[in-house]
Amino acid sequence: MTLSFETLAKQFDSLTQRPSSDYDAFNVDADQLVALCEHLRDKEGFSLLVDVAGIDWNDQSPRFSVAYHLYSVIKQCYVRLVCACVGDESPEVPSIVSVWPAANWHERETYDMFGIHFKGHPDLRRILMWDDYKYHPLRKEFPLAGIEDELPAADVRERVDANVIAAPMMGGPFYAQAADHMSQREPSAADQSWAESNPKRD
């Protein structure tokens, strides 16, 4: 433990400690996030933003959280911040691009995958999926195989007569089995009837 929770909590009253098996971890409210980040960067030496990730808690409220991992090059330790998003329909948190420019693409990715809006982000566009994609694939309600849709560019779509399809899951998703020998730990689906090694079911 390299950060004193008590000292931090005096300055940021929304701060609570978060169960963690490795590094210091704190929950913080959205309205104190940027100030806390600035404090950690300037006063505590956390100069490096390692990751920004979203969490979808499914049927809880607040439904979405954003997790930040910071690293101090001087102290050589991490700290984890988790900030619950405001609003479940169109979740929102303040952007921390002003604190660490590295947050730019991380936040774009989190927006792309979860639909979390980062208020104050200079350029909040999708980064992985194409611009007019309608869904946010890492939300819990999004099926693993995907949703049938149109291909990105309209002129190409006309010429190729192909679609975005729901991927054939072949009985999947695939899980690795708990077994002693590696050969038995091959990932397999619940329904493997299509596989050649098994007799076909009717």
By CB under 8 A, is residue 162 in contact with other proteins?
A: yes
On whether the CB atoms of residues 65 and 85 are closer than 8 A, the answer is: yes
Of the candidates 78, 71, 130, 128, the one whose C-alpha atom is nearest the C-alpha of residue 102 is: 71
- Binding test (CB under 8 A) with other proteins, winner from 128, 176, 179, 195: 128
On whether the CB atoms of residues 47 and 73 are closer than 8 A, the answer is: yes
Of residues 26 through 45, those in contact with other proteins by CB under 8 A are none
Of the candidates 62, 115, 57, the one whose C-alpha atom is nearest the C-alpha of residue 87 is: 62
Vertex 132, ends 122 and 134: CA angle to 5°? 105
**Residue placing its CB nearer to other proteins in the complex, 61 or 177:** 177
By CB under 8 A, is residue 167 in contact with other proteins?
A: yes
| C-beta atoms surrounding 156 within 10 Å | 10
Scanning 1-9, 80-88, 166-174, 191-199 for contacts with other proteins by CB under 8 A, the matching segment is 166-174
Scanning 1-9, 36-44, 75-83, 140-148 for contacts with other proteins by CB under 8 A, the matching segment is 140-148
Structure tokens at 139: 């939300």
**Residue placing its CB nearer to other proteins in the complex, 57 or 174:** 174
As a whole number of angstroms, the distance between CA 45 and CA 156 comes to: 50
On whether the CB atoms of residues 105 and 127 are closer than 8 A, the answer is: yes
Query: Side chain identity at 192, as an amino acid letter?
Result: Q
Scanning 24-32, 36-44, 69-77, 141-149 for contacts with other proteins by CB under 8 A, the matching segment is 141-149
Structure tokens at 102: 């590295």
Output the smallest distance, CB 151 to other proteins, in A.
6
- Binding test (CB under 8 A) with other proteins, winner from 13, 21, 59, 159: 159
Scanning 19-27, 66-74, 99-107, 127-135 for contacts with other proteins by CB under 8 A, the matching segment is 127-135
Binding string, residues 83-122; x marks residues near other proteins by CB under 8 A: ----------------------------------------
Q: Which residues contact 7 (CB under 8 A, 6 or more apart)?
A: none
Instruction: Point out which residues bind other proteins (CB under 8 A).
Output: 128-130, 135, 137, 142-147, 151-153, 156, 159-160, 162, 164-170, 172
